[in-house]
Each structure stands twice: as C-alpha cells, then as structure tokens.
Structure 1
Amino acid sequence: MGRRTLVAVARPDGRYDCRIAHWGVDADPIAQSRPLGNDWTASAVLAAIDATHDRLVVLDGSVRTYTVCWLDPTLSDLDDIVLARTTDADAFRRWWVDRKDEACRALDSDGCDPETVRRALLASLRNRASSVHCPDDASFLRGDR
C-alpha cells in the first residue's frame, strides 16, 4: 500500500520547494521523492495536504516528520485533518489507524454523534503525539523544534 508523502524543503527566503513520494520516505527524502513544485509559501504547503496523504516531511536543517491524521469519522471531508509529530512515525501510524477504526465502528454501531467522535479522536491525538497542528496554522513549519 502506498504511503503518499509530501516533502517540503525549506529555502533561505522562507519559502519551500516541494516534492512528492508515493511510497513514503525513509533515510533520504530527496532521493525517494520527485519534484512537485518550487517557491511555495508555508500556507501553500499545508493547503496541498489532505487525508489522501500519509505524511509531511519538512527538511530545514533537520528532518521533521508529521503524520497526517484524518479526523472526520464519517469519512467524507478530506480536508478535516491535523498533523501530528512523533518520534516513531510508523508506530504512531499503526496506533492511529487502530484508533480511527474504533471510532468509525463506534459511530456505526453505537450511533454516536460524529462531532463527539471527532473531538474524542482529537483528544486522543493530543495525548499521544508530541505536538498536533491544525492545517490553518503554518507557523509550526518555521520552528516546531
């Protein structure tokens, strides 16, 4: 299964050169991705991400990996995401997929309110990840160390 990853390479002028990898990236995000576009603003980087992405990797002197977490338990709004930073992205992704499956089952079988389930998912993320970022705030791209 693909692991669609957006790679944002910081430029000295505060903009980004972006790359895409359909099978994820590991040790060398540049070599494992192909060019997508140059001279993007931080807001444009985040606007490009939706629930069809698995990760965002930011290269700015260090490598920071964020897991794209789809919050919408009705599975209809691809833009209802947050970005979660963790030290072990693979383990976190497995945890998130299990947690999201549980939430969707609760919605289907227990008739829970979708917004209540969404809030519970977000609370779980905030308790588990080292940081959680909404896609309408690009400030973390410039210094979430």
Structure 2
Amino acid sequence: MNTRDLISGSLGSVKQQVQAMASTVCSASPADLRQKLAEMSRADLVAGLSHVKDQAAAAVSTREGAVKASVLVIGSAVSIYFLWPAAVAPAATVVMMKAPGAAGVLVSRVAFLAHKQVYYKVLRTAGAAAALAVLA
C-alpha cells in the first residue's frame, strides 16, 4: 500500500464519520439532546469515554493504523499552522485614530469612515461628546 492510498483511505474514513455525526446532530432537536444528556448517568459517560479510548488504541495498534493517525495529526498541525493566523488576524486588528475635534480621543477608523458625514454634522451642532456617541 502506497502513501497516497493510505492518506486517501484515512481521509475517506474521517469524512464518513464526520458526515454520520453531522446527520445525527442535525436530526436531533435541542430539546431531545437536553433530555438525552439529562438521562445519561456518570457510568454512561465513563463507558462512552472508555469505548472511545479502546477504539483509539485499536486504531494505532497496527503499523498501518499508526501511520494513518500520525499523518492525520501532522496534517492537522500543518493546517492549523497555516490557517489559524488567517482566521484570527481580521478579528484581532482594530485600527484606531484620533477623533477630529474631540481633543485626542481614540475611535475606530472603520467606524469613523462609515459614519464620517454624520460625525461632522453632529460635531458642529451638538458637540464632541454627542459626535463620539455616534461612533460608539
């Protein structure tokens, strides 16, 4: 078995498991899920976790399974390394500027540019405090 078959086989297996889980979650209503969680006891949860642990141990007990698992972990790590900064960067960057006519108060540049005309109109008629409230 070559590497390409190994990777495509493991990706196909993961895809099937994700589709099955998604269909199960989508078909259940939130009330059903809450009821099932309320009915589950601690022993049920421990049994479920032990089942997952046994499945994971069985998956990596063979050489082929260990290679699939390592390829999956390395692929995930590489994906996270390259995709995480792209997902976080837009939310983390907020460019600030000094509000014109408001004695050096900092405001969001995006908010100011979106409401520039309203800001200046309120600044001229009601003052700096009211104009800053427009941008908030």
Shorter-chain TM-score: which interval?
A: under 0.3
Q: TM-score, normalised by structure 2?
A: 0.24
Q: TM-score, normalised by structure 1?
A: 0.23
More helix by share: 2
